[in-house]
Structure 1
Amino acid sequence: MKGGTVQINWHDTQPVLSLDFHPHYGLLATAGNDHDIKLWEITWGESEKKLPTASYQKSLSYHSSAVNILRFSPSGEHLASGADGGELIIWKLHASDDGYTWKVLKTLSFHRKDVLDVQWSVDGAYLVSGSVDNSCIIWDANKGSVHQILDGHLHYVQGVAWDPLGQYVASLSSDRTCRVYVNKPQAKLKGYEKLNYVSQHVITKSELQRHEDSKPPSKSHLFHDETLPSFFRRLAWAPDGSFLLVPAGIYRNSSASEVLNTAYIFSRKDLSRPAVQLPGASKPIVVARFCPVLFHLRGSNSDGFFKLPYRVIFAVATFNSLYIYDTESTPPIAIFAGLHYAAITDIAWSSNAKYLALSSRDGYCTIVEFENDELGIPFSVAGTSKTMNPTNVSKSDVTDQMEIEMPAALKVDIAADKKASLGNQSQSTMMMKTPDTKKPTKRITPVVIN
């Protein structure tokens, strides 16, 4: 594993606000305050010490304001980009004399204010967007029209996520709530069931158990309020739909004497309350992203909380650090810190799990390159050579296979955690840092919420 900040001029040294890998061609798309979308070809480092390189390919110029979010469709044929002022564009890939070109296909107009996040449905027929106008909109991508408006939030919608199995849509807002919507299709019309998402869960507080038996449990907020200095709270579903990972969390211990930054993991079996928390980050966690490839179990660690027939790998980022986890182990498998001088804004995985990229408001991007099979051996569907992906998994398969183990008691020793040195972690853990950046004093360790 090797990685670092690529010292090139990404967006005229202006903040880079989002990035995403094309699902087939290995291109990296970036977007930022310069109003442009830029496409880059990422090549691996030839020598052991050489970092991956990014070669500029072309720019997509149409937006008239800062581009906050971009996401390729699952097929790779389309690209959605959202910007300030409510601009939302769908681009389409075309063949051209020089290989390919992207052209504006649809301009989606309804949001009244900045679009902060976008996510495609797994079939690419719809997309959901979140905006500063406090609403989520489900769009019909083929028609370029509004399909449904979800207007339950009372403040900015800073993150949206579409369940890869198509049953749920989730949103996260600075009103301190995560909302989960379930699809209850309307009556069939000419054999077609119309999507219809209705609110199923509004997750905002949890009970805080106190040591004193005489006092009843109090309610504690699960998420940061609107003073969190970030416009992004990018949540994500696991590629198999087994669980939802929600950033921007806060956790109070039983005595309520200390508040920890965290991300919460919600099991698909019960989306009404978090099942696991990732505490200990010195800064708020603002973005989560899953590796699209599932991996075979290694069988080397039985301490994991997730009882899955394969390993799922995911990354979470605070303002200044990146943590990589897998579902078979408890501590992170890699930690990167001190890579940027301003807040991290987005995370992207390449479709083959070879690269992990993150963007920052300091105008630069970091690219991490993994060696062959370093993350593990890709999990294949039984009897085939096809790599596991969401389209190979049914809802019943996930429900039957997915389980988060709940021990009777599991405590976090914060004092001991502060004393732990990153240098004493296992060899699979890696930290990248700039010379003037202090080491993080806390390790993030998943904790089951009883």
Structure 2
Amino acid sequence: MHTGPVLVVRWAHNGRWLASGSDDEIVMIWDMDPNARGKVWGSDEINVEGWKPLKRLPGHDSADVTDIGWSPADRYLASVGLDSKVIIWDGYTLECVRKLEQHQGFVKGVCWDPVGEFLATQSDDKTVKIWRTTDWSLEAEVTKPFEDSPGSTFFRRLSWSPDGAHITASNATNNKGFVFIAAVITRNTWTSDISLVGHENTVEVATYNPHIFLRNSSAPVSTSNICSVVALGADDRSVSVWQTKSARPLIVAKEVFDRQIMDLSWSWDGLTLYAASSDGTIAVFNFTSEELEGIAPHSVQEQYLSKFGFTLPPPPHGYSHIDTKHPTPPPSPSRTNIEVTKAVVHGEEVNQLVARRGKKKRVALVPNSAAIPSAGGPSHSISTAQPLSKRAPLTQITTSSKVPPTSSFGFPMPAEQPYEPPHSWVKNGGPMDLDVPIDSFGGDGSISTRGKRKMSDDAMPVARIGRTLGGDRKVEPAGPVKQLGNWGGAGVAPAQTHIAAQQLGSLLPGLPLLSYLRSDVEDSDLFLEARNSEEDHTTEVSLVSGKQVQWLDFLPSPVIALKATPFFCAVASQDGTLNVYSHTGRRLLPPMSLGSAVSFIDGNKQALMAITSSGQLYCWNVKQQKACFAPASLAPLISTSPNHTILSATVSPNGSPIIHISNGVVYSYDPNLLSFIKVTERWWAENSDSWHGRARAAQSIRGVMTLTEYLLNGDDKNFSLSDAINNASSAGATSHPAWWSTAITLGHLETRMHAIKLLDSSAEYRQVVLLYAKKIADEGFRAKAEELIKELFGPVYWRPGREDNVPATICGIPRRDLLKDVLSIFARSKTLAKLGLDWQDTLKRANNEEL
């Protein structure tokens, strides 16, 4: 069961399973329980069906699960959350297939290409990313028109059209953020030249009708004869329904709810639209096939999509989604009881659906007893309700003799918003006309409509196709791993290498020379291995996927350390050389000579770190092919005492090293300050009220800073976690100066803010800023509060001759979004309430550009 509010629910296409996501960080899979009985809460009605939890899918790190989606044929399930991750689950085994971590902000929407070739996600980093499902690499990144989109929405739910031609993405803006729109992104070119304009506030969700529509029902099915229907829900409490053949909306229902719209869903037959709001109510919009003219059966969509020539991977052996227990759901309820009146507006004939309103604005819904819902069918939502008296007025455009110069609907003219699907796509470098009937295509599958892809910079492991270096060789078992004696290569004796290291001043112990080394790629069956053969003094490096060698290489010096990430493979040799390969075996960087052998090596996404035995620290961004900072010596950290050693050394995704010394201090290097900084230290554990290393379950640790503080005690052999707790508990018996605990807690929080900013951990930065704000509000430290406010606000006025290059974000979070939360804390405090309220007014005026 979920332990927090449920934010999203999605039926599998075959109706066998139900997936739900919650702010308890869990995706839950539900299966129907035929033996379940019980009454509907608050009434005497008996439940039609009962569903039981089948499996919990943990994986999102300390973050809400904001959206989930099933792929075509339920081959995969994708989930996204506020940890900025996209997780792909196998739709049969429900095991994690891949984690995609290229987003730099909260991910709040996901949708699948109906063909199955692509996956789209939308994030607070103001991008829509398109992923290839063949290797989960990045196909394209769309940034326009999302540059000025607000970051205050709960969701950014996007949808893919049933013909595969377009994605409609929410939370887009035009005119520097003053016009709220939904952006329509075209397949293959991934451009967003089309906008759906008219809502008075941010569009929160877009959902396509699952059916393809024909412009001319009597004409053959072809690209030029196909259109789609998409519904938009916005923070202005309104719902609009668009048909892509028209530049104006089909339906606009204004102020349907008391609060913003959170989600939309169409029924499987395409004639009912459900809308959910944060005010706790659901609205139902019923249509007839005459109103949604040209609706085609699902078989037409299946036939049309088959011409793309793309096939999803087969299910695992022994798995199937076939289930005959669940019946097909009933059709949507009829609308025979709705009164329709005709009117003429500016020469345009319209149908007006007007219902009576009560005193309350909230829409009241009563279930229709004639239509029994079936949760097990392929319906996207439960179809059970009929419209009643308390219903928002709807206006539907049915015929158009001419377009009036102005409209009360607030949407653009057709000439201003041309919306025509492309008539040709690109295939094999040349144009291909799809404006032909489906029946004219050959049935042998020789013609594919798949377009030419863009090359991705963030390439994931490559597909195992074509001839590769060493790909014809079988994987040999590793055998027993043994430590080898010293042997060199390329005419360099190991003793000479060792002497050279001593001459440079060896500060750290070297790594042993082993016959076999291996490094696994996270969330993949890929692994990098090295074999040092003592018999013939050869060193072989290879990347292996399962039982297949992807590539191999030979090096002149034996390998002492390896690190493989989803983006690169790093190999450190005994002679101090570092080689970096792509997953195809191509050298991404020239062989780098570090002067002495490596003692520590680590990689994280595109960041690579190495520490040599001479105490030199190196960090590189492999993608950008440059160093994160100049090499830095660790001598100041470990030379102060002969007993100080490095316990661990890792690197964050942004290239910041995290070095744990045996004296109980964790350091990092700040290239802006050209010095090492203290990330955290064991001393905070004794007196700080905000120490995160106290006893807790290991699996509950989330965030790099929190994990660092938790592991700090366990990694120190001379100081255990129980020692920290005992010292903290005995502190009360020790006489301390006044303000001791307050000063240390504030110092700890201020240190954490600087360290987290360097490590670029956005979720933790928001948390520590709010903790810091609450602490100074509780203590009533007005001067500290004002300084924090001004730092987050930035410059208020422009002055001649002064250039303020203050970044708009901190750790990817807009500064003034943080300030808004901080001011909310100050406004509720007893001592800083006036300060908070005054600055809230200033912030409001600044956002409205009154200052």
TM class by shorter-chain length? 0.5 to 0.7
Residue 158 and residue 283 in structure 1: after superposition, are their counterparts in 2 closer, same or farther (change >3 A)?
same
Q: What secondary structure sits across from 2:308 in the alignment? A: helix
Decide which of 253, 274, 297 is 1:357's aligned counterpart.
274
* Partner residue in 2 for 1:311: 227
Deviation of 1:429 after TM superposition, in Å, equals 6.7
Q: What secondary structure sits across from 1:388 in the alignment? A: helix
C-alpha offsets along residues 165-213 of structure 1, whole Å, 9 cap, x if unaligned? 1111111111111111123x3xxxxxxxxxx21112122246xxxxxxx
The question of 1:282 aligning with 2:200 is answered yes
Deviation of 1:222 after TM superposition, in Å, equals 4.0
The question of 1:65 aligning with 2:65 is answered no
Residue 269 and residue 144 in structure 1: after superposition, are their counterparts in 2 closer, same or farther (change >3 A)?
closer
* Partner residue in 2 for 1:340: 257
Q: Is the 8 A contact 1:333 1:428 kept in 2?
A: no
Equivalence map 1:125-144=2 (5 Å): 125-144=75-94
In the alignment, the residues of structure 1 paired with residue 294 and residue 111 of structure 2 have an alpha-carbon distance, to the nearest angstrom, of 27
Higher helix share: 2
* Partner residue in 1 for 2:169: 246
User: Please, which runs of 5 or more residues in structure 2 have no aligned partner?
Assistant: 38-47, 311-343, 362-391, 394-407, 421-851
In the alignment, the residues of structure 1 paired with residue 199 and residue 114 of structure 2 have an alpha-carbon distance, to the nearest angstrom, of 28
C-alpha offsets along residues 257-280 of structure 1, whole Å, 9 cap, x if unaligned? x72111111111311x20311123
The question of 1:442 aligning with 2:421 is answered no
- TM-score, normalization: structure 1? 0.65
1:249 maps to a residue whose letter is: A
Q: Is the 8 A contact 2:115 2:308 kept in 1?
A: no
The question of 1:115 aligning with 2:69 is answered no
1:361 maps to a residue whose letter is: S
* Partner residue in 2 for 1:27: none
1:371 maps to a residue whose letter is: T
Q: Is the 8 A contact 1:246 1:265 kept in 2?
A: yes
In the alignment, the residues of structure 2 paired with residue 94 and residue 275 of structure 1 have an alpha-carbon distance, to the nearest angstrom, of 48
* Partner residue in 2 for 1:261: 180
The question of 1:396 aligning with 2:308 is answered yes
* Partner residue in 1 for 2:129: 179
Q: What secondary structure sits across from 1:359 in the alignment? A: strand
Q: What secondary structure sits across from 2:24 in the alignment? A: helix
* Partner residue in 1 for 2:141: 202
Between the aligned residues of both structures, percent identity stands at 25
In the alignment, the residues of structure 1 paired with residue 419 and residue 166 of structure 2 have an alpha-carbon distance, to the nearest angstrom, of 15
| Number of residue-to-residue matches in the alignment | 325
In the alignment, the residues of structure 1 paired with residue 304 and residue 279 of structure 2 have an alpha-carbon distance, to the nearest angstrom, of 39
In the alignment, the residues of structure 2 paired with residue 224 and residue 431 of structure 1 have an alpha-carbon distance, to the nearest angstrom, of 34
In the alignment, the residues of structure 1 paired with residue 71 and residue 85 of structure 2 have an alpha-carbon distance, to the nearest angstrom, of 18
Q: What secondary structure sits across from 1:108 in the alignment? A: strand
Residue 101 and residue 261 in structure 1: after superposition, are their counterparts in 2 closer, same or farther (change >3 A)?
same
* Partner residue in 2 for 1:379: 296
Decide which of 281, 285, 288 is 1:368's aligned counterpart.
285
In the alignment, the residues of structure 2 paired with residue 281 and residue 199 of structure 1 have an alpha-carbon distance, to the nearest angstrom, of 31
User: Please, which runs of 5 or more residues in structure 1 have no aligned partner?
Assistant: 1-61, 186-195, 207-220, 301-305, 381-385, 399-421
Q: What secondary structure sits across from 2:350 in the alignment? A: coil
Deviation of 1:102 after TM superposition, in Å, equals 1.8
* Partner residue in 2 for 1:232: 155
* Partner residue in 1 for 2:31: 92
Aligned Cα RMSD in Å?
Answer: 3.2
Residue 449 and residue 310 in structure 1: after superposition, are their counterparts in 2 closer, same or farther (change >3 A)?
closer
The question of 1:155 aligning with 2:74 is answered no
1:335 maps to a residue whose letter is: V
C-alpha offsets along residues 255-302 of structure 1, whole Å, 9 cap, x if unaligned? x6x72111111111311x2031112321111100111122332589xx
In the alignment, the residues of structure 1 paired with residue 242 and residue 49 of structure 2 have an alpha-carbon distance, to the nearest angstrom, of 36
Residue 390 and residue 245 in structure 1: after superposition, are their counterparts in 2 closer, same or farther (change >3 A)?
farther
Q: What secondary structure sits across from 2:15 in the alignment? A: coil
Q: Is the 8 A contact 2:216 2:225 kept in 1?
A: no
In the alignment, the residues of structure 2 paired with residue 323 and residue 387 of structure 1 have an alpha-carbon distance, to the nearest angstrom, of 27
1:394 maps to a residue whose letter is: S
In the alignment, the residues of structure 1 paired with residue 245 and residue 419 of structure 2 have an alpha-carbon distance, to the nearest angstrom, of 18
- TM-score, normalization: structure 2? 0.36
In the alignment, the residues of structure 2 paired with residue 249 and residue 165 of structure 1 have an alpha-carbon distance, to the nearest angstrom, of 25
* Partner residue in 1 for 2:209: 291
In the alignment, the residues of structure 2 paired with residue 179 and residue 233 of structure 1 have an alpha-carbon distance, to the nearest angstrom, of 13
1:75 maps to a residue whose letter is: N
1:314 maps to a residue whose letter is: V
C-alpha offsets along residues 148-178 of structure 1, whole Å, 9 cap, x if unaligned? 1111111110101111111111111111111
Q: Is the 8 A contact 1:137 1:149 kept in 2?
A: yes
Higher strand share: 1
Higher relative contact order (CA 8 A, sep 6+): 1
Residue 153 and residue 79 in structure 1: after superposition, are their counterparts in 2 closer, same or farther (change >3 A)?
same
Deviation of 1:449 after TM superposition, in Å, equals 9.7
Q: Is the 8 A contact 1:241 1:390 kept in 2?
A: no
* Partner residue in 2 for 1:78: 17
C-alpha offsets along residues 368-389 of structure 1, whole Å, 9 cap, x if unaligned? 1113432124325xxxxx6433
Q: Is the 8 A contact 2:2 2:24 kept in 1?
A: no
Query: Which structure would you say has the larger Rg?
Result: 2
Q: What secondary structure sits across from 1:308 in the alignment? A: helix
Residue 97 and residue 148 in structure 1: after superposition, are their counterparts in 2 closer, same or farther (change >3 A)?
closer
In the alignment, the residues of structure 2 paired with residue 166 and residue 290 of structure 1 have an alpha-carbon distance, to the nearest angstrom, of 16
C-alpha offsets along residues 231-270 of structure 1, whole Å, 9 cap, x if unaligned? 1111000112111110100112xxx6x7211111111131
C-alpha offsets along residues 352-404 of structure 1, whole Å, 9 cap, x if unaligned? 12211100011111111113432124325xxxxx6433475225389xxxxxx
1:104 maps to a residue whose letter is: P
Q: What secondary structure sits across from 1:123 in the alignment? A: helix
The question of 1:104 aligning with 2:53 is answered yes
Of the structure 1 ranges 309-318 and 427-436, higher mean CA displacement relative to structure 2 is found in 427-436
In the alignment, the residues of structure 2 paired with residue 353 and residue 449 of structure 1 have an alpha-carbon distance, to the nearest angstrom, of 22
Of the structure 1 ranges 276-285 and 73-82, higher mean CA displacement relative to structure 2 is found in 276-285
Q: What secondary structure sits across from 1:197 in the alignment? A: coil
Deviation of 1:107 after TM superposition, in Å, equals 0.8
Q: Is the 8 A contact 1:354 1:371 kept in 2?
A: yes
In the alignment, the residues of structure 2 paired with residue 433 and residue 279 of structure 1 have an alpha-carbon distance, to the nearest angstrom, of 28
In the alignment, the residues of structure 2 paired with residue 203 and residue 323 of structure 1 have an alpha-carbon distance, to the nearest angstrom, of 24
In the alignment, the residues of structure 1 paired with residue 249 and residue 95 of structure 2 have an alpha-carbon distance, to the nearest angstrom, of 42
Deviation of 1:96 after TM superposition, in Å, equals 4.0
* Partner residue in 1 for 2:248: 331
